[in-house]
Structure 1
Amino acid sequence: MADKDGNILAKNYGIGIPTPKQYFHVKGMDHVDWGMKNRLSKIFNPKTGKAVMLAFDHGYMMGSTAGLERLDLSIPPLIEYADVLMATRGGLRSSILPNHNKAIALRCTAGSSVIKEDMSHEVIGVDIEDAIRMNASCMAVQVFIGASGECETISNLVNTIDMGNRYGIPVLGVVAVGKEMERTTRYFLLATRIIAELGAHIIKTYYCQEFEKITAACPVPIVIAGGKKVPEDKALEIVYRAIQEGAAGVDMGRNVFQAENPKAMLRAIRSIVHEGYNQEKAFKLYNSLKRDE
């Protein structure tokens, strides 16, 4: 039985006790299974509804990357300040201790290296059994909308979504831009909506002009990719603007581990995402933490 406001009335010895409606804190995920919600709650903080992701999966196509020459040295000091680690299974198994209890966004596609001009012909590189063995909180699949490998990567996405739905593991659909692909509001509106409508539970894309149009049109949470290294104050400005314009989090890599002080940078990013800092206050925090270490 419900009252005029839609609250469910629980009967206790004949007395109606109003119980407010409960909505899940992750956009568009009210109707997924309990296990998937549990995994999503490891990714997105239930108190803020947002996530700080640390990406260090670059080696799967870029090889040894500046700042990630030694995964076992560069990443462990940062783990405390991230909600989610986005990595390859090889990087995790070889270099990261399994006792951190952070959510894992497992890179599950594989493809051409940066040596190739066309990197869009990816394949599924991790099967569902290994994702389960890795205790993945979500599986990351890259999709090249508009590229020659578009249909192949869409097939990778929907097949992974089907497998994830079977076992309660969400899928993070990554909007790939390649080397020559379009990077406009129009393109990101198209790509994010397609990936969401195909069933991805989270979308990773780049920040761009009129970003609020993209988050408004996407029925699932969007996290922004950090992209190429920019000055720390500029990176913090992008984080702040993205959160203000509807992003549910950030997935930063090079703008963290290539920063002058990676730990201070990740803490400054966290202050924007979870504590409501603006970019000026976060940059002051960064400089303060940098001086103290």
Structure 2
Amino acid sequence: MQELNMDWGMKNRYHSVFNEKSGRTIFFAVDHGYFMGPTTGLEDMHKAIHPAIDYADALMLTRGALRNAVDPKLKKPISLRVSSGTSILNEDLLHEGISVGIEEAVRMNAAFVAFSVMVGTPASERDTILEFSKMVDAAERYGIPTLGVVAVGRGLDRDARYLSLATRMVGELGARLVKTYYCENFERVIETSLIPVVIAGGKKIPEKDALQMARDALDAGAIGVDMGRNVFQADDPVAMMRALAKLVHEDGSVEDAYAYYQELKGR
């Protein structure tokens, strides 16, 4: 277990994002604004975050959103976005480097630092890998685990061959947890990863399809989900988060979780 290579402080931060009963996790990702601006569902950050975060295990967001839209009394652990560099307007999407220093992450009481890594994009691959490695070095010094986010560039296939490569690289470079996309033959991604895997929700899809993707990923060996648009862009974000919790933490079926969503929707 990679946990054997952690000091007490890092173990404590690492375990803070996992549900004690299920051993799994639900990250609520609302960090999209750092390159997408006020995208649909995130126009009002406070409204987007509360009360859906009550049913998640951790919150993933930027320092600006954390300072300005989150009640400091929140008891949920924070995964702080520490990479950026380009906006959605740039053709070289997600050419990222370190944009938040480790001292700032400590000040923000981050349980994890999150960094996007581009694999296979000629213009940005080397830069993001080296910057990611610097952040891992800094975070390890302060006992903060790194969440490596597999970011897929334009024109690249999200298949098991590519995602296995990118996911494995993130672990080899020192991340403690990896966020990657679900794909066909996802078992290969899990089997070849050095570290636990959570799946990204990706673009908005119908609620039942998102629940099915989560179920399939968990069955393949993922340790949890890191969803954003499939929650905050759902018809009822709170109901969707509660349905995810039923599926992830109670090991519910897709049918039960979706029925629960339909029951809660609009209350």
Both structures adopt the same fold (TM-score exceeding 0.5): yes
Equivalent residue number for residue 239 of structure 1: 214
Q: How many correspondences in the alignment?
A: 266
Q: 1:212, CA displacement in angstroms?
A: 1.1
Which of 120, 141, 148 aligns to 1:146? It is: 120
Question: Could you list the runs of 5+ residues in structure 2 that have no partner in the other structure?
Answer: none
4+ runs deviating over 4 angstroms:
none
Q: What is the alpha-carbon distance in structure 2 between the residues aligned to residue 30 and residue 47 of structure 1?
A: 21
Query: 1:277 Cα deviation (Å)?
Result: 0.1
Q: CA deviation at 1:274?
A: 0.6
- Decide whether the 8 Å contact of 1:143 with 1:175 is kept in 2: yes
Alpha carbons 2:83, 2:100 under 8 Å: kept: yes
- Distance in 2 separating the partners of 1:243 and 1:30: 24
Q: Judge conservation of contact 1:120–1:150 (CA < 8 Å) in 2.
A: no
Match of 1:172 in 2: 147
C-alpha deviations, 1:208-233, integer Å up to 9, x for none? 00111111111211110000000011
Query: Which is bigger in relative contact order (C-alpha 8 A, separation at least 6)?
Result: 2
In the alignment, the residues of structure 2 paired with residue 120 and residue 268 of structure 1 have an alpha-carbon distance, to the nearest angstrom, of: 31
Aligned to 2:230, which of 255, 260, 271? Answer: 255
Contact 1:204-1:225 at 8 Å conserved across structures: yes
TM-score (norm 1): 0.89
1:193 to 2:168 alignment: yes
2:41 to 61, 67, 72: 67
Q: Quick one: which amino acid aligns to residue 150 of structure 2?
A: V
Aligned position for 1:4 = none
**Whole-Å separation in 2 of the counterparts to 1:245 and 1:186:** 16
The counterpart of 1:39, out of the listed 13, 30, 34, is 13
Q: Which amino acid aligns with 1:258?
A: Q
Shift in Å at residue 267 of structure 1? 0.4
Residue in 2 aligned with 1:127? 101
C-alpha offsets along residues 80-123 of structure 1, whole Å, 9 cap, x if unaligned?
A: 10111000000110111111110101000011111111124211
Secondary structure of the 1:203 match is strand
Q: Which segments of 5 or more consecutive residues in structure 1 lack a partner in the other structure?
A: 1-26
1:5-20 matches, cutoff 5 A: none
Q: How far, CA to CA, are the matches of 2:24 and 2:7 in structure 1?
A: 20
Determine which of 201, 207, 232 is the counterpart of 1:226: 201
Q: What secondary structure sits across from 2:80 in the alignment?
A: strand
Hey, what's the Cα distance between the residues in 2 that align with 1:123 and 1:31?
Answer: 26
Kindly name which structure, 1 or 2, has the bigger radius of gyration based on alpha carbons. 1
- Report deviation, 1:284: 0.6
Instruction: Please state if 1:184 is matched with 2:126.
Output: no
Superposition TM-score, scaled by structure 2 size: 0.97
SS in 1 for 2:265: helix
Aligned pairs (5 A) from 1:28-107: 28-107=2-81
User: Within 2, Cα distance between the matches of 1:181 and 1:112?
Assistant: 19
Alignment partner, residue 6 of structure 1: none
Q: 2:251 aligns with which of 232, 256, 276?
A: 276
Instruction: Name the SS of the counterpart of 2:255 in structure 1.
Output: helix
Task: State how far apart, in whole Å, the 2-side matches of 1:46 and 1:233 are.
Answer: 26
Contact 2:60-2:78 within 8 A present in 1 as well:
yes
Q: Secondary structure at the match of 1:142?
A: strand
